[in-house]
Amino acid sequence: MLGRGKHRNPKKGACFMELASFLAGERWSDHPQCTHPLLAMLARAVNDLTSDEARPKLAPLIPSVIGLTSDDPHWDVRIALRAAQTALPVAPADRQQTLAVAIIGAERMLDVLDERPPGTLAPESEEALAAVPRTAEWARRFCEGTHVRPKRFVRDAAPSVVSTAVQGISEAFVPDVDDRLRELLTATIEDARRWAGRSDDAPPALAPEVWAPVVKPAAAEV
CA 138 to chain CA centroid, Å, is 25
Single pTM value for the model: 0.93
CA distance 18 to 171: 25
Q: Which letter does DSSP use for residue 213 in this model? A: T
User: What are residue 117's phi and psi, to 5 degrees?
Assistant: -60, 135
CA distance 165 to 152: 19
CA distance 71 to 57: 29
Length of the chain: 222
CB-CB contact of 2 with 47 (8 Å):
yes
CB-CB contact of 158 with 188 (8 Å):
no
Per residue of the chain (222 residues), give pLDDT as tens.
Answer: 788 888 988 888 899 999 999 999 999 999 999 999 999 999 999 999 999 999 999 999 999 999 999 999 999 999 999 999 999 999 999 999 999 999 999 999 999 999 999 999 999 999 999 999 999 999 999 999 888 888 999 999 999 999 999 999 999 999 999 999 999 999 999 999 999 999 888 888 888 888 888 887 765 443
